[in-house]
Structure 1
Amino acid sequence: MVRVPWRDRVLVASAAGMCAVLAISGCGSSDKSKAEATGPLNVWVRGANDSIKAYQKVFDAFTAKTGIQIKPFMTLTDFETKLSAAATSHKLPDVVVDDAAQLGNFETQGIIQPVDKSAVAGQDQLTDRAWDSAKDLTGKYYAVPFSAQANILLVRSDWLAKLKLQPPKTWQDVATVAKAFTTQDPDGDGKADTYGLDVPGSTTRGYISWYWSSLLWEAGGSYFKPAGNGKFAANLDTPQATQSVQWFEDQFCTNKVVQPSALNDTTTEANKAFQTGVTGMYFTGPYAYATMDATAIKGKYVAVAPPAGPANGQTLAEGTDIYLMAGGKTSEAKKLAEFMITPEAQRLGMTAVPTATIVRLPVNKTVDAATEHQGDDRWKLAQQVYQSDGHYEDINMPNWTALRQATSDGLNALVAKCGDPATALHTLNDKLNSILKTQGVAAG
């Protein structure tokens, strides 16, 4: 069997997808009006609860402006699995709004169309950092950015006050505060029922890797290192990576300051742990402000910049992207993407539904998050952290989700057994190099 290089596979798949766009009139037809399917624009969004209401506000504004109807489908449960099933049955939606981290996965499957950035109306109003999250290793764009964010640290301010502590600024501070929150009864109920750190440590969607990645960067480490000619090698078998994993594992195994259910918890369970007073510190995105403010802990927590590690204070940056799907209504889909990056739509995404900020930080640089949120200093902090220390995962790698999943599986197993970090990372490094080899971007 002849192995086709990853880039060639992507080009073939993308070409097939583009041909499918014109399938109604025959591939290569110049009659573009016949190429567009009739009916509403089918838009799938990874979202739930009040996020659905917020997206609907954006879609309603788009329909009012253009007359183009939208048929939305929104869910958090097995979203990418459902999308893969739709691709298999040749029933892809026209547009998908999902994590920027899915770009490599979607491109590898050949289910998204490339984007001509220069042809996107309003593209020059978007930040360069947001656009960078929408391109692959070759520099080709495969999405239009819609939202951005960087993780911050939420801390129970009432617990700090009771124990006469200050918000943490370093890893050591985090360990100290976490120990106090766990052992000194910060809620005053006379029970040993609180924990210092709230960790979504499940392997589902790679949550534990998602959480740990900031620690890796703060220790001066990285997932991969370039090897020239578009090739890469895994870079987790290093002192920096080992230091970050050792500190992380210590909080579970030595200090015992993490909620007992952590290794099975997704962000849904982790949110609840913080909201209900089980945990006192939660490293998460600024979208959590709305979630937490809708509970009894409103006004009882403070948002602070991520505490710095041995090397720096870098923190996980993320984005939400708009994907134009292969075989979809290309013209109408592009119009929707162009509308969603306008100041009007960006503001709607931030404030139309107070309990759901689907635009966490605007990608449109003419819009200011702190201003739109009526001077809320927490959003000013979120902007500053993203701009100064935001660090994206390696989302432009082909199928980053497989690499993140392998990392999550390894980290979860290590912490569950309280094993040796150096040994575990050596094994994980080999695993990542094997995955890179299957994707055609491995060194050597």
Structure 2
Amino acid sequence: MTRQFAAFLGVAAVLALSACSGATAAVQVEQAPPDEQTLEIWQRKSPGGPSDKIGQELVAAFTEETGIPATMTSISDEFEVKLQQRAVQRNLPDVVINDTAQLGNLQSQGLLRQIDRDDIDGADDVNERAWDGARAYDGDYYGVPVTAHTVALFNRKDWRENLGLDVPDDWDSLVSMWQGFAEDDPTGTGKNVAGLALPGTTQRGYISWNTSTFFWSGGGEYFEETPDGYRSAVATTGSVRAATWIRNLACQADVLQPGASSYDTGTTKDLFKSGGAGSFLVAPYELPSLKEALGSDLEVIKPPPGPAGLVTLAEGNNAYLMAGSPNQSAQEKFAEYLISAQGQEMGMAGDRDGNLVRLPVNSTVDMADTREDSDWAMFQQLFDDNGRYVPAVPNWNPFLNESAKTLNALISDCSLDVRSEMEALDDVFTAELGRQEVLAP
């Protein structure tokens, strides 16, 4: 666990205790009259960037529509640190738009209002799978879905065709394509390139996040869910096999970029964008910028199925209505605006870079009415047919970070025994399930 994240949990606990509990914090705060309520909204985006601009447009439209004054603040650096500072002050923003995977650690510290779907106008129009990303371990909802996405393989079509290769349809042909990229000079320049650009750092659990599609498709599981709780499943035969396949991308096939274990998502994207690797598994928010950079040399394809079929990581963002706000009716109005057809279409922003809504969560919205790029439809199909959210344990972050440490070690040191490392991870998972009081007997 990083010091930054540990500090956030500690401060959040202070906030929760000082308010008795997250649930009571929301009801104890005196509410401003409805016509005097305002909103402070945060999102994890780069200030001044494309997503910030779209966010400002959306919030301005909300204010014009409802008359509720609202401000949007985009923060990319030290988002958790700044949120914890506001938690210490017991002055959280009213709404935070953040990853679905953050629900557990925010909810477990009492920072979120519980959501009653029946109180949110338009909730019935929201895709049920998207609601899965807003539901905590206790079965209740603590966010309103804003956007969803999954991942696909961004691939150098020109390199593949230069080597006379078909689109891969299984893992053997996928690895063969990556080996061709790395070994057979697909650029015709003699330049050394990688087969797959992988964000392999432990930072924010990136390597675990970025290989979860392969882990699941290879037969791996993080947990076994029972009626009485969870058991760790990372040392099962399927999980060890899947982890071995991921490790062998570095240690046997040798298709990853040199130093992959230190790459984050930004540096990995830059590598792929600049022609340093032939494939990049990522979500559709990168469609506009990568298509602008690579044009017709880029193709976006479904990841081939592994031994367990095809399972792709499903994610998205929720609007979290923060506890302790004196503006609860305004919070709900903003959430309702975000999931409305108007709000979804504004957030989709056509084919512009920086879209806030990748795949619409409102089932009445047709992407074809807003976007011309047909690759978005493929992502929608992948999400509908193959997407899976991370397990709804009370706090996913410790599991994400610990699995990232193990996978990072495996691609960094090829002498390590995969089963032994996964068995050690299994012990860590079991202990953490116990700490979170969800370990099955």
Give the TM-score, by structure 1 length: 0.91
Structure 1 runs not aligned, ≥5 long: 1-8, 26-31
Cα deviation 1:61-103 (Å, max 9, x = unaligned): 1011011122222122222232123212212110000000001
Q: How does 1:261-280 map to 2 (within 5 A)?
A: 261-280=259-278
Q: Which residue of 2 aligns with 1:215?
A: 214
Q: Which residue of 2 aligns with 1:372?
A: 370
From 396, 400, 420, the equivalent of 2:396 is 400
| Counterpart-to-counterpart distance in 2, 1:127 and 1:194 | 40
Q: Give the fraction of aligned pairs with identical amino acids, expressed as a percent.
A: 34
Question: 1:3: which partner in 2?
Answer: none
Match of 1:20 among 25, 32, 45: 25
Q: Which amino acid aligns with 1:186?
A: P
Q: CA deviation at 1:291?
A: 2.1
Moved segments of 4+, more than 6 Å: 9-15
The 8 Å contact of residues 122 and 342 in structure 1, kept in 2 or not, is answered as yes
Aligned partners of 1:129, 1:62: CA distance in 2, in Å?
26
Q: Give deviations 1:357-388, integer Å, cap 9, x for gaps.
A: 211100000112244212x2211111111111
* Structure 2 residue 311 is matched with structure 1 residue 314: yes
Which residue number in structure 2 is paired with residue 6 of structure 1? Answer: none
Distance 2:17 2:438 in 1: 17
Query: What amino acid sits opposite 1:93 in the alignment?
Result: P
Structure 1 partner of 2:383: 386
SS of 1:298 mapped into structure 2: helix
The alignment of Structure 1 onto Structure 2 pairs a total of residues equal to: 424
Conserved 8 A contact 1:218-1:314: yes
Question: What are the equivalent positions in structure 2 for 1:164-243 lying under 5 Å apart?
Answer: 164-191=164-191, 193-229=192-228, 231-243=229-241
Paired residue for 1:423? 420
Distance 1:212 1:24, change over 3 A: closer
Q: 1:122 is aligned with what amino acid?
A: G
CA pair 280-148 structure 1, distance change in 2 beyond 3 A: same
Tell me the equivalent position of 1:5: none
Provide Cα deviations, 1:397-436, integer angstroms capped at 9, x if missing partner: 1111111111111111222112211111000011011111
TM-score by length of 2: 0.92
Would the aligned equivalents of 1:410 and 1:428 in 2 still touch at CA under 8 Å?
Answer: yes
In structure 1, C-alpha distance between the alignment counterparts of 2:298 and 2:306, rounded to whole Å: 22
Structure 2, unmatched stretches of 5+, are 1-13
Alignment correspondent of 2:4: none
Counterpart of 1:331 in 2: which secondary structure? helix
Distance 1:13 1:324, change over 3 A: farther
Aligned to 2:137: 137
Partner secondary structure for residue 21 of structure 2: helix
Write the distance in 2 (CA, Å) between the matches of 1:93 and 1:246.
Answer: 43
Contact 2:351 2:371 in 1 (8 A): no
Backbone CA RMSD of aligned residues: 2.0
Q: CA deviation at 1:147?
A: 0.3
What code does the residue aligned with 1:255 have?
Answer: A
Structure 1 position 324 matched with structure 2 position 329 = no
SS at match of 1:225: strand
| 2:251 alignment partner AA | C
**1:123 corresponding residue in structure 2:** 123
3-state SS in 2 of match to 1:299: helix
How far apart are 1:15 and its partner, in Å?
A: 6.7
Residues 324-378 of structure 1 show CA distances to partners (whole Å, capped at 9, x for unaligned) of: 001112111111010000111111111257111211100000112244212x221
2:114 match: 114
Partner of 1:411: 407
Cα shift at 1:54: 1.3
Pairwise CA distance, 1:172: 0.9
1:441 shift after superposition: 0.6
Structure-1 separation of matches of 2:231 and 2:248:
28
Question: What is the alpha-carbon distance in structure 2 between the residues aligned to residue 344 and residue 175 of structure 1?
Answer: 43
Is the Cα contact below 8 Å between 1:158 and 1:301 reproduced in 2? yes
Q: Output the amino acid matched with 1:409.
A: K
Cα distance in 2 for residues equivalent to 1:330 and 1:79: 23
C-alpha separation between the residues in 2 aligned to 1:440 and 1:23?
28
CA distance in 2, matches of 1:271, 1:223: 27
Equivalent residue number for residue 443 of structure 1: 440
CA contact (8 A) 1:18 1:327 kept: no
Q: In the aligned structure 1, how far is the partner of 2:207 from the partner of 2:40? A: 33
Determine the structure 2 residue equivalent to 1:98: 98
Q: Match for 1:356: what amino acid?
A: G
Q: Output the amino acid matched with 2:361.
A: V
Q: Match for 2:432: what amino acid?
A: I
**Aligned partners of 1:269 and 1:345: how far apart in 2?**
32
Distance 1:404 1:236 in 2: 12
- Partner residue of 2:431? 434
- Cα deviation, residue 119, structure 1: 0.6
Work out the CA distance in 2 between the residues paired with 1:171 and 1:15: 52
CA contact (8 A) 1:147 1:358 kept: yes
Instruction: Specify the code of the residue in structure 2 equivalent to 1:78.
Output: E
